[in-house]
Amino acid sequence: MPKKQLSIEPHNMLFQDASGPQKESSNKGKHASSTQNRRKVSGGFVSLLVKGILIRQKSIYSIHYRLIPYMRKKANLEYGQAIREVSTKR
């Protein structure tokens, strides 16, 4: 099973799963409906909030301060490593 990586784009602050598009069994053909796409995006977004990778302050969302150095170097950071980095107390 390939490891999941979190790809962070510094210019537009988009978070994407580096494993690429997931195949989904559906009777609608090869394209997912817009509702299915929204569910995937919202589920991933909520997951990042729950894990502490994203932080919400009123209506502003920001990345955890410990992940900023990785973002500046444009490093590919594995999902598990990002969670450990955020949850590690120093």
pLDDT tens column, 25-64: 555 556 777 888 778 788 888 899 999 999 999 889 999 9
* Long-range contacts (CB closer than 8 Å, 24 or more residues apart) made by 76-81: 76/5, 76/6, 76/7, 76/18, 77/5, 77/6, 77/8, 78/3, 78/4, 78/5, 78/6, 79/3, 79/4, 79/5, 79/6, 80/3, 80/4
Asked if residue 73 is part of any domain, the answer here is yes
- Within a domain: residue 55? yes
Sorting pLDDT into bands at 50, 70 and 90, what band is 9?
A: low
Q: How far apart are CA 44 and CA 22, in angstroms?
A: 13
pTM: 0.56
What is the per-residue pLDDT for 12? 44
Note whether residue 32 is domain-resident.
no
Domain count, the chain: 1
Domain housing 59: 8-18+38-87
Distance CA 72, CA 87 (A): 20
